[in-house]
């Protein structure tokens, strides 16, 4: 935790400097050969933030920060976008996003100003402002062992409160995220009893950042806030394909993610990642405009089609593991080439809030929850306006396995409408996909990595490793 | 999410019904350089009726045959023969509201929480889906909202893909904007374009006072309102910075839409009832 004294100092002294720095141009910045704007590059608007590293992390030492030279550090540095010379349009104003990486012995530090790398798509009245931000990523991620006090996952039944609340009054949400699968307090551990043995994980923050994208923007969990759709899934407002009327036209489209996966509340936030938007060219520069990335949008294909090429890194979790795109390399040849690329498939299936109870009036209130559907009208016979459902392609239970199907998805209670099933023993040898673990990760030939999916939990379902890093954002405000 | 096609008349029922009558002529001084008074903080009381209007100003363009013709800052001559835009939402933004009302520092990670979506929408928000024909320059009533007890500083409008027809029968067919015409690069030949894009975007504009004196502001049903807020789009200014020959159709349409939103002006005039 950042100390109170440090918070005060940051607010009173460092912030004006940092905010000023964030507003400075970086057009003349050099380009690191690794694709990231590393120490060998010229200064950018983010460069001076490293001198103020103790404003973000009180225990850091600015003099110890330098070029990332270890394999782990270089992997982070090489993965971030080269934003040298990139400017974006922000509601008519020109802004300069920046992201840079430095390392000390234990961590990589990603400094950024939390701007998207493409022209700002303003889906809500929340403005976008350059905001100094630094993320600390542990270079030696530590898988969670067997922490004392870890709760048994089967005891996390808080969703029954959501079920009761919804049946009592669908328009009145619970005050707090009810599931128990994310935390609003200190780091909290859970034990899964899997077929392969016990597995431990740490909960994501319900409302805080868990990762940072390679463009230097915070990544969040799979739920929105209490308003307007209580703890809802931001992805259920998405269109199926590019060209379909979608989020902003929806009167209930409070979440309003753009088709790259983000929205704003001063800084940009990503709840999901459309990997096409985060493609880089050979110099590490953004390879796609917003239109380029958005035009690839196809939810069903992104959930179910076979992959032809392994995905790159799109973000870094604060536990030190990368978040990669949805195509997983599951085997490599001796020359390093990938010999088996599969689609990442979440092991969370849409089961609906109705799965958490059996009240007599359930059918009246939740009767359509999880039903197979063709369009929104099928889920909203009284009209889409004010309806709590959307027809969304999801990973659904099919026999002993899963299938990609359109289901009536409840906009509320993201964690309570999807359920994790242990699929470590599932035989996917003849399939074009592999199942991810509870955290949305996979242990591959390059080690463990999360994989961004457009089904729950989108980026991560939990922390596979100890979340010893953090995302510190200075200034601004708004809504994850 | 998959939805059925929404004719304009049906789409309008998404929120407040589009007013039946035409918009009173927008103030003459709503253009970006037309002398609207900046810093138009607008204090309203809870329940005050807000009459929203949408307008177009072709200042900076000349009419030539069937086209509005602009020479933009990059030297391109651009003729617009057809421009249709889908607007789906408008709202007022409280001063210091959606843009954050303070500076703070947070450590985001396990142990900390922050989220607040209530700032994403104000009670003044209306959801009305309309397909506007910009080329005819017509202004129109957009809808009536209800204010909160606060002072407003900005207006937000949202354009989004819409499967609906305009009043002139033009089918937007799932796009947010459709713009057609021709362009001529400096020293180049004339090239026709017909560009569309099914992507949405919003514009957040500072409020300015159009006419400091109050007026008798009424909606199409003759009901008095506390204030009229008019969002005016300026296509000539919107086309600045666009090099059509370097953009694909979707990118061109996207650039025009973003320009329209970024150069829009939002003005208000107090109603005598307010």
Quick: pLDDT tens for B34-84: 455 666 789 999 999 999 999 999 999 999 999 999 999 999 999 999 999
Q: Taking chain A, what is the end-to-end CA distance rounded to the nearest angstrom?
A: 20
> CB-based contact (8 Å) between A15 and chain B?
yes
Instruction: Strands of A189-282 (E only): list them.
Output: 189-194, 197-202, 204-205, 209-213, 218-220, 262-265, 267-270
Q: Could you tell me if residue B217 is inside a domain?
A: yes
Q: In this predicted complex, what is the ipTM? A: 0.83
Q: How far is B8 from chain A (nearest CA, A)?
A: 13
State phi, psi for A76 to the nearest 5 degrees.
-70, -50
Cβ-based contacts under 8 A for chains A and B? 244
Least Cα separation, residue B186 to chain A (angstroms)? 25
What the block records as the tokens of A399 is 């026999």
B260 found inside a domain: yes
**Which of A124, A414, A405 has its CA nearest to residue A252?**
A124
Nearest CA to CA, how far is B106 from chain A (Å)?
6
- Kindly tell me the burial class for residue B93, based on how many C-beta atoms sit within 10 Å of its own C-beta (0-12, 13-18, 19 or more): buried
d(CA A357, CA A177): 18
Residue-wise pLDDT tens digits, A366-424: 999 999 999 999 999 988 878 899 999 999 999 999 999 999 999 999 999 999 999 99
**CB contact A187 to B (< 8 Å):** yes
Q: What is the Cα–Cα distance from A265 to A259, expressed in whole angstroms?
A: 17
Quote the number of domains for chain B.
1
Kindly report the pTM of this predicted structure. Answer: 0.87
Residue B29 lies in a domain: no
Choose, out of A1, A22, A53, A125, the residue to mutate when testing the contact with B (most B CBs < 10 Å).
A125
Query: Is the CB of residue A126 less than 8 Å away from at least one CB of chain B?
Result: yes
The reply to whether B227 falls in a domain is yes
Q: Say yes or no for a CB contact (<8 Å) between A247 and B160.
A: yes
Instruction: Report if residue B30 sits inside a domain.
Output: no
The tens-digit pLDDT sequence of chain B (274 residues) is 554 444 333 333 333 333 333 333 444 444 444 455 666 789 999 999 999 999 999 999 999 999 999 999 999 999 999 999 999 999 999 987 543 333 333 444 443 333 434 345 788 999 899 999 998 877 889 999 999 999 999 999 999 998 889 889 999 988 999 999 999 999 999 999 999 999 999 999 999 887 777 788 888 888 889 999 999 999 999 999 999 999 999 999 999 999 999 999 999 998 886 6
Distances in Å between the alpha carbon of B140 and those of B176, B197, B223, B231? 18, 24, 16, 10
Whether residue B166 lies inside any domain: the answer is: yes
Domain span at residue B184 reads 7-19+39-271
CB–CB of A450/A459 below 8 Å?
yes
A247 vs A233: CA distance, rounded Å: 13
Residue A299 touches partner B, C-beta closer than 8 Å: no
- Using the beta-carbon criterion (under 8 Å), do A236 and B1 form an inter-chain contact? yes
- As to burial, measured by CB atoms within 10 angstroms (0-12 exposed, 13-18 middle, 19+ buried), residue A109 is buried
Q: Say yes or no: A90 contacts chain B, CB-CB below 8 A.
A: no
A202/B contact by beta carbon, under 8 A: yes
**Are residues B100 and A244, on separate chains, in Cβ contact within 8 Å?**
no
Q: DSSP state, A11?
A: I
A119, A127, A205: residue with CB nearest B113: A205
Nearest beta carbon to residue A377 from set B4, B103, B106: B4
Are the Cβ atoms of A477 and B120 closer than 8 angstroms?
no
Q: Can the peptide bond before residue A228 be classed as cis, meaning omega within 30 degrees of 0?
A: yes
Task: Identify whether B24 is part of a domain.
Answer: no
Interchain CB distance below 8 Å, A207 and B115: yes
Residues B208-237 have pLDDT tens digits of: 887 777 788 888 888 889 999 999 999 999
């Amino acid at each position: 935790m950042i100390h109170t004294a440090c918070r005060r100092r940051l607010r009173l002294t460092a912030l004006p400097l940092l905010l000023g720095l964030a507003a400075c141009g970086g057009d003349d910045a050099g380009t690191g050969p690794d694709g990231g704007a590393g120490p060998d590059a010229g200064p950018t608007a983010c460069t001076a933030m490293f001198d103020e590293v103790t404003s973000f992390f009180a225990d850091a030492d600015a003099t110890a920060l330098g070029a990332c030279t270890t394999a782990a550090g270089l992997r982070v540095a090489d993965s971030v976008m080269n934003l040298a010379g990139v400017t974006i349009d922000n509601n008519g104003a020109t802004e300069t996003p920046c992201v840079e990486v430095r390392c000390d012995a234990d961590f990589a530090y990603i400094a950024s100003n939390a701007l998207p790398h493409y022209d700002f798509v303003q889906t809500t009245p929340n403005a976008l402002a350059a905001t100094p931000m630094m993320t600390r990523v542990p270079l030696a991620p530590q898988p969670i062992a067997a922490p004392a006090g870890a709760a048994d996952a089967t005891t996390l039944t808080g969703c029954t409160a959501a079920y009761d609340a919804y049946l009592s009054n669908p328009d009145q949400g619970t005050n707090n995220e009810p599931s128990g699968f994310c935390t609003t307090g200190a780091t909290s551990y859970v034990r899964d009893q899997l077929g392969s043995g016990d597995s431990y994980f740490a909960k994501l923050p319900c409302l805080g950042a868990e990762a940072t994208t390679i463009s230097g923007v915070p990544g969040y969990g799979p739920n929105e806030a209490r308003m307007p759709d209580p703890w809802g899934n931001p992805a259920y407002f998405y269109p199926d394909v590019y060209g379909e009327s979608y989020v902003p036209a929806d009167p209930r489209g409070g979440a309003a993610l753009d088709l790259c996966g983000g929205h704003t509340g001063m800084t940009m936030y990503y709840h999901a990642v459309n990997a096409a938007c985060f493609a880089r060219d050979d110099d590490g520069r953004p390879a796609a405009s917003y239109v380029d990335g958005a035009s690839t949008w196809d939810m069903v294909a992104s959930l179910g089609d076979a992959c032809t090429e392994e995905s790159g890194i799109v973000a870094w979790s604060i536990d030190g593991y990368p978040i990669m795109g949805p195509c997983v390399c599951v085997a490599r040849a001796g020359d390093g080439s990938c010999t088996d690329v599969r689609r990442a498939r979440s092991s969370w299936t849409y089961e609906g809030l109705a799965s958490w109870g059996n009240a007599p009036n359930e059918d009246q209130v939740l009767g359509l929850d999880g039903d197979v559907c063709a369009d929104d009208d099928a889920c909203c016979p009284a009209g889409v306006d004010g309806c709590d459902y959307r027809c969304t392609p999801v990973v659904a239970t099919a026999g002993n396995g899963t299938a990609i199907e359109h289901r009536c998805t409840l906009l509320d209670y993201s964690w309570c409408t999807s359920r994790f099933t242990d699929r470590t023993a599932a035989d996917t040898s003849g399939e074009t996909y592999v199942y991810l673990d509870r955290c949305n990760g996979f242990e591959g030939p390059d080690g463990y990595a999360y994989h961004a999916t457009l089904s729950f939990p989108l980026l991560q379902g939990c922390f596979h490793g100890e979340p010893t890093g953090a995302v510190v954002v200075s200034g601004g405000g708004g809504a994850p | 999410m998959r939805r059925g096609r929404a004719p304009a008349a049906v789409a309008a029922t998404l929120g407040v019904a589009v007013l039946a009558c035409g918009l009173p002529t927008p103030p003459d001084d709503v253009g970006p350089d037309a002398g609207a008074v900046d810093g138009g903080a607008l204090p309203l009381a809870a329940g005050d009726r807000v009459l929203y209007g949408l307008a177009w100003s072709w200042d900076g363009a000349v009419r030539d045959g069937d086209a509005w013709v602009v020479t933009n800052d990059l030297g391109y001559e651009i003729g617009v023969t057809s421009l249709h835009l889908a607007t789906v939402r408008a709202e007022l933004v409280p001063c210091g509201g959606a843009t954050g009302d303070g500076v703070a520092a947070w450590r985001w990670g396990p142990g900390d929480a922050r989220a607040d979506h209530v700032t994403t929408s104000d009670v003044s928000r209306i959801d009305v889906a309309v397909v506007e024909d910009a080329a005819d320059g017509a202004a129109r009533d957009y809808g009536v909202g209800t204010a909160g007890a606060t002072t407003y500083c900005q207006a937000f409008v949202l354009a989004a893909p819409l499967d609906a027809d305009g009043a002139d029968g033009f089918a937007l067919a799932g796009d947010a904007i459709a713009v057609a015409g021709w362009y001529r690069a400096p020293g180049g030949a004339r090239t026709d374009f017909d560009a569309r894009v099914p992507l949405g975007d919003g514009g957040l504009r500072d409020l300015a006072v159009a006419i400091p004196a109050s007026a008798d502001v009424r909606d199409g049903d003759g009901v008095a309102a506390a204030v009229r807020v008019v969002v005016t789009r300026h296509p000539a200014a919107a086309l600045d910075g666009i090099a059509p020959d370097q953009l694909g159709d979707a990118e061109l349409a996207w650039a025009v839409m973003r320009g329209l939103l970024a150069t829009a002006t939002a003005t208000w005039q107090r109603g005598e009832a307010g």
